[in-house]
Structure 1
Amino acid sequence: MTSAVGRGRGLIATMIVIVVCSGVVQGYLTPLLPVVGDHVGIGGVGQNNLYLLSQIAFTVLTPLLSRWGDMWGHRRLLLVAVTMVALGSLLIAARPTTATLAVGMVLQSAVVGFFPLLAGILRSRSPEHGRIGMSVLVGALLLSIGAGGFVAGTLSDEHALAGLWTAVPFGALAVAAAIALPTGTAPRAGRFNLPAALLLTLGLGALMLVLTEGEAWGWTSAYSLLTSAAALVLLIAWVQAERRSAHPLVGLGMLRDPRLAAVSAHTFCVAFGAIGFLGANAVYLGTEPDGEGFGLGLGAQDISLVSLAMVAVGFLGSALTPRLARAVGDRAVLAVGGCAGAAGFLSLCLFHSSVPRYLAGALIVGLATGMFEASTRTLSVEAVDEAETALSVGVNEMALSLGAAIGAAVTGALWSAHTTAQGAVTGAGYQWAWAACAVVALGGAAVGLLFRSPSDAPTPGAGLAHPRRTA
């Protein structure tokens, strides 16, 4: 079976199975947590702590799985990551308790390794399909995130905990697909830098903690300030350890390449709103309209349909990105993606009082999401040597996660500053949040203009195909 999926369409089709599992896992628990929380006795604070735990695990596992994949083999680490996700999904479904939810969600966080490791296999086994392959995988991811939440919510309408089984069959299929995949680039020599890994884990954990809990603690409280200081000290120590090491964990020297630096900064800026505002988007859709026309009062099923529409447009944007790159170039694609995100949030600022008007802006944001996820993942692969493929994509995934986390934290802070006596967000709170997302997305467009393609295209044996050679 391995030879049958070694190249071309068979390889991409097998990878789609794994990416769909990733999307379902990322999308199915969000609408279920309130119901599951009531069943197992976890209140709002406990649910938020579970979300925090998973976000810390996401951030920490990204560089670890990427580095291990480049060192010990992409397929080997992908099989480990997929097995972790499958076991976590089964644990949550079979025995939902506070402890199993926490352990299961940490295991499921291994989905962050899927894209970096798949990129390493795709680049080495079928470089001529690199760009179109990445765009198809991103599109499949977006669609499966929306579909996973919709299916899980529908199942839970019949039985409160039935939706927890949504990810289990997809996890089993993903394990089978990972076994069928061929090996990628031969593992490179190196030694795992344990001190750097510990410093990065603790530093990112502290950073995610303050970003997630800062609103509840108060951004100027002692807890927030001390945690921020700890994160800063730990991350500075990590940078120093990386610079002194002959075997760096992340390889910060990669960011000296202006192409990778521009792509990572663009990813951060667009993800700030396009992904960071997703939770707030559902809140606005479900909030009953106030006297000024803010809020749409939709039910859970209608909200999931809006989310499906956004990811469907995102799939379209992802599919069109390679063709657009051939026509206007990579730099223009990055700029257009950032401008599209800004236009979508500006539309939300101006037109938000009815579902059709709000949907117009939301769909533009969805289009920008598909474009930036496809383009930045592809370009982060092409910016480095083949031996560092997974690590480079991992750096991009970290930029995405941090951008989304900081975007969500900024939105929460702006909302907290504009609430009524009853705790409802005022129209000004929504307006400020949309405006902030638009401004940062424009910054992403500006950074995209700094990107420069290499003067000579990589050959099929050295990396992904140049856009003008992509079939």
Structure 2
Amino acid sequence: MTGTISRGRGLLATMTLIVVCSGVVQGYLTPLLPVVGRHIGLSGVGQNNLYLLSQLAFAVLTPLLSRWGDIHGHRRLLRVAVAMVAAGSLLIAVRPTTATLAVGMTLQGAVVGFFPLLAGILRSRAPERGRTGMSVLVGALLLSIGVGGLAAGSLSEEHASAGLWTAVPFALLALAAALALPDSTTRRAGRFNTAAATLLTVGLGALVLVLAQGGTWGWSSAPTLATVAVAVVALVLWVRVEQHSAHPLVDVRLLRNARLAVISAHTFCAAFGTIGFLGANAVFLGAHRDGNGYGQGLGSQDIALISLAMVVAGCAGSTATPRLARLIGDRATLATGGGVGTAGFTSLVFFHASLPQYLAGALVVGVATGMFEAVTRTLSVEVVDDAETALSVGINELALSLGAAIGAAVIGALFAAHPAAGGGIAPAGYLWAWAACAAVALAGAVIGLLFKGGAAPATASTPTLMTTSGEAA
């Protein structure tokens, strides 16, 4: 069977099935969280913490799956990743509880490996279709994120948990497609750096935990200070291990390239708000004004429609970005994207009383999402030598996952610090969250002004490549 799809349209069509599963998984739970949360007794803070957990899984699994793919084969790890997603989706659908949602969403975090591993297969099996193929796959991903949310929202209108089955058939189709794909012809090389993987996982877990729980524990309490110490020590040791390793998990030495460092910092700031805010967006839209003093009281289907509208706005921003870069230059485009994000979140701070007001700000945030994803993924390829392309994109993807996870954690901490009298989140919690996202987006705009154009540097190639590519959150 694999011989019939080893090249051409059959290969691309099979990959598209897998990418559609990725999009559905990333999009279907967000509009369901308010309804399912009420069904299982989960508060707004708890709903945001579940979203935070999924973003943490993205951050940890991004380098792990990519590196394992380089060592053990892209097809093998793709099958493992799809199987993890299928198992997580089925677990959530069969028995929706707080615990199963947490475990299932963690397993679903393996979607972050789909694009890197598919890119490795596409690059080696059909290099002539590389640029066109990736464009098709990205388009399918973005559209399926919105459509997946809409389908889940429609199903949940009949029963709160019915929408949780949305991802199951797509995951099973993706698993069949992964079994049919050929393997990449890229030479397998290197060893897995267990020490680096352990330190990165512990460091990120401790960092996100303290950001999410520091307000509850008390910022000067012993548990908070101890967790901060664990995070700092683990991440510092991780950087040192990576710098001295012949087989790095993430080659942080590439950040000596000033342009890549600027791009990655901008990506972190942009993802902090635009992606970190998505869980909070659903909670706000689903909250009933009578009981909470804020929100729009929307059902899952209406929330899914707004999420789809934000995805469409993101597609528009992504499509317009290359032309904008030709007109005003890469540095100005980076700064403009940060400025658009700042404008969107600032609008939410001042104008959120009615749905049209809120939607206007949310759509601007959607445009900013598409802009930063398009420009940073393009530039992260162009600012390094050809031999370092995959490593460079991998660092940028890690910055995106970290920004989203830390953004969700900060938003969750601000929510927890402003509880409503009768439960839920007080309006001040949202005002502070939107203001924080606006401030970090503004920092991203300023960082973008530090970018300097020019030809890609002719740096020495490194012995280990982490095959990764753009993955939308």
**TM-score, normalization by structure 2:** 0.83
2:216 corresponds in structure 1 to: 216
Match of 1:442 in 2: 442
Question: What is the rounded CA distance, in whole Å, between the counterparts of 2:223 and 2:240 in structure 1?
Answer: 26
- Contact 1:259–1:452, Cα closer than 8 Å, also in 2: yes
TM-score under structure 1 normalisation?
A: 0.83
Question: CA offset at residue 59 of structure 1?
Answer: 2.4
* Alpha-carbon distance, 1:332 to partner: 3.5
Give the Cα–Cα distance (whole angstroms) in 2 for the partners of residues 145 and 81 of structure 1. 18
CA gap of 1:52–1:354, structure 2 versus 1, over 3 A, is: closer
Post-superposition shift, 1:5? 6.4
Gaps of 5+ in 1: 459-471
Q: CA deviation at 1:111?
A: 0.8
What's the counterpart of residue 25 of structure 2? 25
Q: Equivalents in 1 of 2:57, 2:339: separation in Å?
A: 31
Question: Could you report, residue by residue, the CA deviation over 1:146-192 in whole angstroms, capped at 9, with x for unpaired residues?
Answer: 33233223223334443232112211222343345454461342121
Q: Tell me whether 1:6 sits opposite 2:4 in the alignment.
A: no
Moved more, 11-20 or 270-279: 11-20
What one-letter code is carried by the residue in structure 1 that aligns with 2:334?
Answer: L
Q: Report if aligned partners of 2:33, 2:283 keep a CA contact under 8 Å in 1.
A: no
Q: Which amino acid in 2 is paired with 1:269?
A: C
Instruction: Answer yes or no: is the 8 Å Cα contact 1:119–1:381 preserved in 2.
Output: no
Q: Give the match for residue 431 of structure 2.
A: 431
- Return structure 1 stretches of 4+ with deviation > 6 angstroms: 45-49
Counterparts of residues 49-68 of structure 1 (less than 5 Å): 53-68=53-68
CA positional deviation for 1:285: 2.6
- The one-letter amino acid paired with 2:345 is F
The 8 Å contact of residues 139 and 318 in structure 1, kept in 2 or not, is answered as no
Aligned length: 456
Structure 2: segments with no counterpart, 5+ residues: 459-473
Q: Are 1:175 and 2:179 counterparts? A: no
Q: Work out whether 1:153 is the aligned partner of 2:153.
A: yes
Deviation of 1:450 after TM superposition, in Å, equals 2.9
Deviation digits for residues 348-396 of structure 1, max 9, x if unmatched?
2333232222211111110111121233233334445566555443322
* Distance in 1, Cα, partners of 2:12 & 2:262: 28
| Cα drift, residue 312 of structure 1 | 1.5
- What's 1:335 paired with? 335
| Range with greater deviation from structure 2 (229-238 or 423-432) | 423-432
Partner residue in 1 for 2:231: 231
Matches within 5 A, 1:291-440: 295-384=295-384, 389-418=389-418, 421-422=421-422, 425=425, 427-440=427-440
* Matching of residues 59-138 of structure 1 within 5 Å: 59-94=59-94, 101-124=101-124, 134=134, 136-138=136-138
Relative to 1, partners in 2 of residues 1:377 and 1:70: Cα closer, same or farther, differing over 3 Å? farther
Distance 1:455 1:263, change over 3 A: same
Deviations 1:48-83 (A, max 9, x none): 775565444332211111212233333332232122
What are the equivalent positions in structure 2 for 1:189-268 lying under 5 Å apart?
A: 189-268=189-268
Report the CA distance shift for 1:208/1:91 in structure 2 as closer, same or farther (over 3 A): same
Q: Distance in 1 between matches of 2:11 and 2:323?
A: 21
Q: Does the C-alpha gap of structure 1 residues 121 and 132 become closer, same or farther in structure 2, counting only changes over 3 Å? A: same
Partner of 1:465: none
Q: Which secondary structure does the structure 2 equivalent of 1:158 belong to?
A: coil
2:157 is paired with a residue of what secondary structure?
helix
Q: 1:366 to 1:189 in 2, by over 3 A?
A: same
Q: CA shift at 1:258, angstroms?
A: 2.2
AA aligned opposite 1:432: W
Contact 2:5 2:181 in 1 (8 A): no
Partner of 1:463: none
**Secondary structure in 1 matching 2:271:** helix
Overall identity of the aligned pairs, in %: 71
Residues 84 and 204 of structure 1: is their aligned pair in 2 closer, same or farther, counting only changes over 3 Å?
same
CA RMSD of aligned residues (A): 3.5
Distance 2:269 2:429 in 1: 20
The alpha-carbon distance between structure 1 residues 33 and 274, as it changes in their structure 2 partners (threshold 3 A), is closer
Give the Cα–Cα distance (whole angstroms) in 1 for the partners of residues 106 and 330 of structure 2: 36
- How far apart are the structure 2 equivalents of 1:15 and 1:219? 47
